[in-house]
Amino acid sequence: MFLSTDKELEKDLQFFLQNIVQNKSLHTRWLNTLAFMEHIGSRKIIKSQNSMTLDHFILQHISEEARHAFYFKNLAYKLSPSDCPNFEESYMIKGSSSEDYFQNIDHKAEEELADSPDKKLLNYLYTTWMVEERAIVLYELYNQILKNNKIPFNLNFILREEDHHLKMVIQIIQQKDPDFKERAIRLFKYERVAFTSLVNEWLTILAREEQFCGKTHV
């Protein structure tokens, strides 16, 4: 696992998630944001690959991302349909910044792989690796908080699928890129900075919402 352990970042995420699940409107918008992020993942794969050369593996990934997006969207809709009619910014928690995170990771991988003969495939694979590695960490934390708060849904099947897909992605990268170790180290350093920035924006929204609601934390 190239994703470095960051206790401070993990603490911030736990604080964010614990407070999100206590507020119905915020929790709905969070689920809607996760649906949007999974949708972006599906859309980016489709846009980045040649339709005529799609193989079983990539097509499976597209379908899984779309299914995860619908799962989160459906949960949001069940919780509070008026808070998630679509993916407009007001119905998410920093949805535009979440999209920027994806785009920045993708562009960094593209820049890193500029001279690679397999750059199109590897760009997709490295971007997937970084995003899914991060998603597993985030979803595991969120899943535990859902359990601790006795919220009647979980992310178990998503975590299983993400883990299975991630292993296959890493295996293909190792076969296709002889420089994968050094390249992964550089890319994951960049990812950490990008994700930390995104978490800080999520926390800013949380603080703003709670101040508006008159909540304070010791």
Q: At what angle do helices 24-48 and 119-148 cross, to 10 degrees?
A: 160
pLDDT at position 213 is: 52
Instruction: Give exposure, 39-63, as e/b (b: 16+ Cβ within 10 Å).
Output: bbbbbbbeeebeeeeeeeebeebbe
Instruction: Tell whether pTM > 0.85.
Output: yes
DSSP-derived 3-state class of residue 96? helix
Task: Give me the amino acid identity at 15.
Answer: F
Report the percent of the chain where pLDDT is more than 90: 78
Q: For 209-213, which contacts have Cβ atoms below 8 Å and span 24 or more sequence positions? A: 209/23, 209/26, 210/19, 213/23
**Per-residue confidence at 216, pLDDT binned at 50, 70, 90?**
very low
Residue 1 has pLDDT above 60, yes or no: no
* 211 has a pLDDT exceeding 70: no
pLDDT at 5: 62
The residue among 142, 138, 136, 137 whose CA lies nearest residue 161 is: 136
Residue 170 CA to residue 157 CA, distance in Å, equals: 20
Query: Between these two residues, 212 and 175, which has the higher pLDDT value?
Result: 175
- At 218, is the pLDDT very low, low, confident or very high (cuts 50, 70, 90)? very low
Q: pLDDT-based confidence at 217, cuts 50/70/90?
A: very low
Q: Mean pLDDT in the chain?
A: 90
Is the pLDDT at 60 greater than 90? The verdict is no
> What percent of the chain lies above the pLDDT cut of 70?
93
How far apart (Å, rounded) are the C-alpha atoms in residues 25 and 91? 9
Report phi then psi at 11, rounded to 5: -65, -45
Could you give the count of Cα atoms lying within 13 Å of 216 in the half-sphere of its Cβ?
1
Tell me the mean pLDDT in the region 90-105.
95
Judge whether 143 and 154 are in contact, CB under 8 Å: yes
Which of 96, 84, 89 lies closest to 32 in space, CA to CA?
84
pLDDT at 4: 63
Q: Are 33 and 98 in contact (CB under 8 A)?
A: yes
Residue 119: other Cβ atoms inside 10 A: 15
Cα(128)–Cα(136) distance, rounded to whole angstroms? 12
Question: Is the confidence at residue 69, as pLDDT, over 70?
Answer: yes
Distance (Å, whole) CA 61 – CA 92: 24
Write out pLDDT tens, residues 13-48: 999 999 999 999 999 999 999 999 999 988 887 777
Compare 44 and 198 and report the one with higher pLDDT: 198
CB 199 within 8 A of CB 16: yes
When mean pLDDT is compared across 49-63, 71-85, 134-148, the lowest value belongs to 49-63
Distance CA 131, CA 104 (A): 11
